[in-house]
Amino acid sequence: MRIAPVRLIYYLREGMLRGASSCEMFTYQNAPGFGFLAQDAPHLRSMTYWLYYYFNRHAGRWVLAIDGTAPYHEGSAGGKTHRGPLTPLVATLSEDQKRLFLILANGSWNRAVPCRIDLRNFAAGLAAGVILSHADPDGYPLLEKREYLVRGLPVALDGPRLTAALPPHAVVFITLERASLQRRGP
């Protein structure tokens, strides 16, 4: 799960998501590659399976314009210098405009990054978050339990401000519901 979350964020944000996957549905336990399900171990799910599971549920109908700052990263690989945000983000809105979805990735292998998002034109009443992060960055990609990769993310919502902490080497999915959707007393 090294590059996939960041690539998917840019595909969605730039309108290129359709057909952007190089994954396969089926694979084998001893050679998992980019497969989702192991034919010889149907009880296992790949890290990529869980990434697509949550990504597809957080890709709203409209990609929203965003502005702000993020930690900057510069590194080199293959003799080339690469630069960009350490924590790329995409924000989308559901078709009924009742849910705002945020997908963020923390590309640092060892640094947690605080996250503060000020919402405009969306009065959120509820916020829920999910983290995908594995204890071993080079771990075996087929998992026996969802909990080895997927956990809840504590998200604080104070008026129009959302705060959370992005753990190292993680992708985060946040769903915000409009305040008007909350149930009022009996």
> Residue 130: what pLDDT?
97
Q: Which residues pair with 118 in a beta bridge?
A: 161
Residue ranges in the chain modelled with pLDDT below 50: none
Q: Right CATH number for 4-181 from 3.40.190.170, 3.40.50.800, 2.60.40.1180, 1.10.287.1770?
A: 2.60.40.1180
Per residue in 5-39, pLDDT tens? 776 776 777 765 555 555 566 565 666 556 566 66
- pLDDT of amino acid 178: 93
Task: Say what the pLDDT of residue 156 is.
Answer: 96
Whole-structure pTM value: 0.80
Q: Tell me the C-alpha distance between 161 and 157, whole Å.
A: 6
Comparing CA positions, the residue from 68, 156, 75, 142 lying closest to residue 108 is 75
Domain boundaries, the chain: 4-181
